[in-house]
Amino acid sequence: MPGALPRIFVSAGEPSGDLHAAPVVEALRRLLPGIGVDALGGPALREAGATIRFPMERYTVMGFFEALAKIPPHVQMLRQLRKDCRAGRYDLAVLVDYPGFNLRLAETAHRQGVPVLYYIAPQLWAWRPGRARRLARSVDRLAAILPFEPGFFRGLGVAAEFVGHPLADRSWPERSAARRTLGLADHERVLALFPGSRGQEVDRIWPVFRDAAARLLARGECTRVLVAGTGAGEYPGAGGMEVRHGASADLMAAADAALVKSGTTTLEAAMTGTPMVVAYRVHALTAMIARRVIRVPWVSLVNLVADRGVVPELLQDDATPDRLADLVRPLLDVSRPEAIAQREGLAEVRRRLGLPGAAERVAGIARDLIAA
C-alpha cells in the first residue's frame, strides 16, 4: 500500500540462525525505524523486536526419523507463506542458513515477486553444486560470511558479496583472563577437547579424543584436560579430565592446544589463536557417499579460509588416539615450531574473516533491496 512501512519475513529455523539473524533485525530497525518484521525464529529474534509467527521450537528436530514427523508442519508453513507473498504482505524475505527449508522458501518468494536476501549461505560449494544452481535462480542477493564464497556463487550468476564473519563481532577473552575465570594457573599445560554439540557427534568423537588425552596425561605432557561438555553429550571414562559446561570461549582461550571436531568451532579456535588438531567421524556409509561428492580439498573451515593446510585433519579411521596424541603433543609447547607456525596461520585466518559489522552490512543490503 502507498505510504505503508515495509515489512520483511526473516526465516531462521535453528538456534545458530536465530542468534545470527537477531543483530541483523536490530540493525534494520535502526536503519528503517518502524519496519515490520515477522519471523520463523526463537528467543534472540523475539528479543530483537521481531514478531515470531512460527516458533522454531515447533519445527527444529535432530535425527532422520524425528525429522519425518516435522515435514507436514514445514509444508503447511510454506503454503501459508506462499499465500502471504502472493497477497503482498512482505517486501523482502531474509533467509538465514537452514537450507532444507529456506531454499524452498526462496523459490516460493521469488515466484511471487518478493526479493530474496540469503545470509549465511549453505555450504553447497563443498558438495552440492547442482543445488547451488537452484539457489542462483531464486536469490537476488547473497551475503557470504566466508571470503571464498562470493567467487563460487558469482560464477553461478548470484549477486554475492562478503560481509564478514559474525565471529568477528564477538569479544574473545585473552589467555590469562580466561585462565583466571576457569581457575587455572599460568604454568599449567592445558589441553581442551571439543567433541561436538550433537549427541551422535559426541558418541563417535569423544572416545578417540578421550583416549588421546589420557595418553598425554599419563606421560605428563599436559597437566589438565578440559572437556567442552553439552547437554546432549555423555562423556564416559573421563577420569582425570574435567567436563565443563558453558563458557566454551574461555575454555578455548585458556588452552595451550585443542582437539576439535570439524565445524565452526575450528574458527572459534582461530579467533582465540589456539593451536589445534581437527578430527571428524561419521557413519561409514555417510563417509563413503561423502568421498564421492565432496569437491573441496579440506573439511575444516580454518584450512578452507586459509586455502592451505594450517591445521592437521584426521578423518574417519585415521582419527586414532595415537595419531591425535602425536599431532597435538608439539602444539602444547608454545615454543615449538609447530605451535608457532599454527598461531601465525590462525592470525591469517582471523584477518581473512573480515572486520566487525557483518550485521550492519547485511542490513544495508536489505535496505537497498527494499528500496529497489
Per the structure block, which three cell numbers stand in for 287? Answer: 563417509
SS (H, E, C) 59-126: CCCCCHHHHHCCHHHHHHHHHHHHHHHHCCCCCEEEEECCHHHHHHHHHHHHHCCCCEEEECCCCHHH
Domain identity same for 209 and 96: no
Residues 280, 324: contact at Cβ < 8 Å?
no
Looking at the 3D structure of the chain, how many domains does it have? 2
Looking at residue 282, what is its pLDDT? 64
Whether 284 and 246 map to the same domain: the answer is: yes
Q: Is residue 307 domain-resident?
A: yes
Whether 279 is in a domain gets the answer yes
Q: Mark whether 81 and 179 lie in a shared domain.
A: no
* CA angle 176–246–282, rounded 5-degree value: 110
Same domain, 148 and 209: no
- 1 belongs to a structural domain: no
Residues 269 and 184 in one domain: yes
pLDDT of residue 295: 61
Same domain, 206 and 327: yes
User: Across 205-358, where does the E strand assignment appear?
Assistant: 224-229, 242-245, 257-261, 276-280, 313-315
Residue 259 within any structural domain of the chain: yes
Query: Residue 170 falls within a domain, yes or no?
Result: no
- 141 and 190, same domain (yes or no): no
| Per-residue cell: 195 | 567433541
The answer to whether residues 361 and 344 belong to one domain is no
Same domain, 362 and 295: no
CATH code, 217: 3.40.50.2000
Domain assignment of residue 210, given as a range: 175-352
Residue 169 lies in a domain: no
pLDDT score recorded for residue 135: 85
pLDDT in tens, 218-239: 999 999 999 999 887 889 999 8
Q: Which of 176, 233, 159, 231 is nearest to 201 (CA)?
A: 233
pTM, to two decimals: 0.87
Q: From CA 95, how far away is CA 109, in angstroms rounded?
A: 11
Q: Is residue 118 part of a domain?
A: yes
Tens digits of residue pLDDT in 64-98? 444 555 678 889 999 999 999 999 999 999 999 99
Q: Are residues 155 and 212 in the same domain?
A: no
